[in-house]
Structure 1
């Protein structure tokens, strides 16, 4: 099993509710994936991509406690298995089923873990997971900005959503590991930075730059700084809830996936208001900040840019992001993968899904008629050029990834047993499921 760089794309399965919970925004539906899923998987094959960020729509799959409709998931995941495309399974992407309500529901974490376990039991050949996508953004847009789901705009609402979302992620990881001991979790989290516009803005920018780490701090059991501890406890997190996060030890099963867009950097005014700054530091600098904090293997899990009037804007952004990935890698950070997100154009992301305008956003590798865009051709070439080169470099990552077709092989079964044994024996706790290997 040689090391393998994870060139990926994704099929966007966002499904938050808007208009006070009365309207669900289902990107799989808007992008016509329910009808064209076989064609979409053909396109993944055509690009030479073996890893796909993808998941079943939670709102139509998870019908109630221990009640599931697996019909669509059975069709699609059986086909991924047949094609030997390894899904990075996205189980919760900005929404929950109507019967759960929203992220303020304290029952959500336990219910979601049951769903994760049921999925892992049904599809035991799946190894890679993003249980909850962009935990920080999900809590922020739902409960701080008032845009989705509960549509709250308060620190109390945000902290409540955040603690439930991250607890759901942790409990889901534990549930999946009971079924698949060598599961690997790729957190897909937005990597942000807040720039102070002038000296009076330094304090609010500092607070925002601390807050951006909250979801991953809690997920990885890292102590938050004192100001953030006060913020969490002032807004309803109990000591017992905080210690739940400190007590989890799943970091060794994780890859820190981080997303970077032109909109991830912000200018902060003295009153704490923000506006987009565009790319100032870039992916390389900001990824170093996150890597220095968590010391985990990294994967660039999302980026894109609109194909603009000259037709090469997205191609140039792809090249720039890839150059940043290589620079991060050459600095010695174990970076294991790269993702252009998503496979096809998306719909209504220009208003962050808040308005059902059916505006097509031209940022996919393919358009919604499934015609390849220039960035799709460029990405296909990039993968062909680099796929064989990367593992031969001096710093490479040895991730024990089992491709779908190999899941029944003896060595794959032995690996699961070895990891299970290591996890059960504290004396071998230093054995990393995800480990770097300089060759």
Structure 2
């Protein structure tokens, strides 16, 4: 399967769909907060001018599965219909940090219920004629394990249990993949995690070893999914299909130290990180999340685009660039206005004003990258 068949446009729009509970108990719902849940069709229509025909979007599991195994699809059916009417290809996030309140994430029932939910959604898509959906089972297993299991940042708000949570999320992802393939064997899967770089603060051997161990930990979830480590969890190579690399300006730092800003001599070029990722897994790679705030948006897009072209010229099968979040949104912690998007908040009729410098730059990037979109080296079947 080549580029054009797998992802319909190289540049993608990523709609923030986080739905976790914060440490204080408040449930976040970014699809609601940004207005995208209400105005999905108008949001999709705005993509035509940018040459964007593919998006990352998401489900809110906690709303669909309020009563176990009795699914209320009313919140997602309008989004599915909007995508079909506008000709937009959606890569669906099935679980973006949020899950039903009655579930204990540490118990086997979490795995079973998520697998059943995932299969039910795949069946819903198939009933509508979509027999080869693109699905992302559990978003950012590594980050969620750290945020929810190690430092108690959001649900399940545990500390010191990061590895345990990572194993549980991997089990759930594998169970979902298997359940979906029983319903729609041609389904494709995106497994997203942050791409990071960590450097030591000194040349002391223990500092070098600690920094490198932390850096290599970015691969743990993908290794678990493939069964390369802890095979008892059920991982196998077929569970890793498309590798989603999430990369932002803040994804590099000194171990137990400060961030390494873009442009610094120690800031590792993105193309080298992508090359290492591909060499490890030999899978197509999607830059599944990338973005920046305010005036840093356009320079960051220019940097990332140039790095992706360089990586592709060196044989890395990059299949797309997803700008994320595509809409401005309220901050997770304090509701502050986060100007990260190509478009801002909606007005009363759902219209959104573009951030013109990024809109123009993304339009140019989309046209350039779409011309180069077909590359037989990205062919891969799970």
Q: Tell me the TM-score normalised to structure 2 length.
A: 0.89
Q: Does 1:34 align with 2:54?
A: no
| Aligned counterpart for 1:362 among listed residues 306, 314, 339 | 339
For residue 246 of structure 1, report the CA deviation from its aligned partner: 5.7
| Aligned counterpart for 1:149 among listed residues 131, 136, 155 | 155
Q: Distance in 1 between matches of 2:134 and 2:363?
A: 23
**Which SS does the other structure have where 2:275 is aligned?**
helix
For residue 384 of structure 1, report the CA deviation from its aligned partner: 2.0
For residue 396 of structure 1, report the CA deviation from its aligned partner: 4.3
Q: Distance in 2 between matches of 1:328 and 1:49?
A: 21
User: Corresponding residue for 2:113?
Assistant: 111
Q: Distance in 2 between matches of 1:298 and 1:116?
A: 23
For residue 165 of structure 1, report the CA deviation from its aligned partner: 0.7
For residue 216 of structure 1, report the CA deviation from its aligned partner: 0.8
Q: Does 1:72 align with 2:20?
A: no
**Which SS does the other structure have where 1:338 is aligned?**
strand
For residues 164-206 of structure 1, give each alpha carbon's deviation from its aligned partner in whole angstroms, at most 9, with x where no partner exists. 1111111111111111111111112111111101024212212
Q: Which moved more, 1:174-183 or 1:197-206?
A: 197-206
For residues 49-76 of structure 1, give each alpha carbon's deviation from its aligned partner in whole angstroms, at most 9, with x where no partner exists. 1111012211111223211110121111
For residues 279-358 of structure 1, the aligned pairs below 5 Å read 279=262, 280-308=267-295, 313-348=296-331, 353=332, 355=333, 357-358=334-335
Number of matched pairs:
362
Structure 1 regions of 5+ residues with no counterpart?
224-241, 399-431, 435-439
If you compute each CA radius of gyration, which structure gives the higher value, 1 or 2? 1
User: Corresponding residue for 1:123?
Assistant: 125
Q: Distance in 1 between matches of 2:237 and 2:275?
A: 23
Q: Distance in 1 between matches of 2:86 and 2:365?
A: 22
**Which SS does the other structure have where 1:8 is aligned?**
strand
Q: Does 1:378 align with 2:366?
A: no
Q: Does 1:260 align with 2:279?
A: no
| Aligned counterpart for 1:7 among listed residues 7, 11, 16 | 11
Q: Distance in 2 between matches of 1:52 and 1:336?
A: 13
Q: Distance in 2 between matches of 1:60 and 1:8?
A: 26
User: Corresponding residue for 1:418?
Assistant: none
Q: Tell me the TM-score normalised to structure 1 length.
A: 0.78
Q: Distance in 2 between matches of 1:390 and 1:248?
A: 30
**Which SS does the other structure have where 1:258 is aligned?**
strand
Any conservation in 2 of the 1:127–1:182 contact (CA below 8 Å)? yes
Structure 2 regions of 5+ residues with no counterpart?
347-351
Q: Distance in 2 between matches of 1:371 and 1:286?
A: 35
For residue 358 of structure 1, report the CA deviation from its aligned partner: 1.6
Any conservation in 2 of the 1:3–1:396 contact (CA below 8 Å)? no
**Which SS does the other structure have where 2:258 is aligned?**
strand
| Aligned counterpart for 1:99 among listed residues 102, 108, 111 | 102
Any conservation in 1 of the 2:328–2:339 contact (CA below 8 Å)? yes
For residue 256 of structure 1, report the CA deviation from its aligned partner: 0.8
Any conservation in 1 of the 2:56–2:91 contact (CA below 8 Å)? yes
User: Corresponding residue for 2:378?
Assistant: 397
User: Corresponding residue for 2:169?
Assistant: 165
Any conservation in 1 of the 2:226–2:235 contact (CA below 8 Å)? no
Q: Which moved more, 1:56-65 or 1:87-96?
A: 56-65
The Cα RMSD (Å) is: 1.9
Q: Distance in 1 between matches of 2:359 and 2:185?
A: 35
**Which SS does the other structure have where 1:24 is aligned?**
coil
Q: Distance in 2 between matches of 1:247 and 1:41?
A: 36
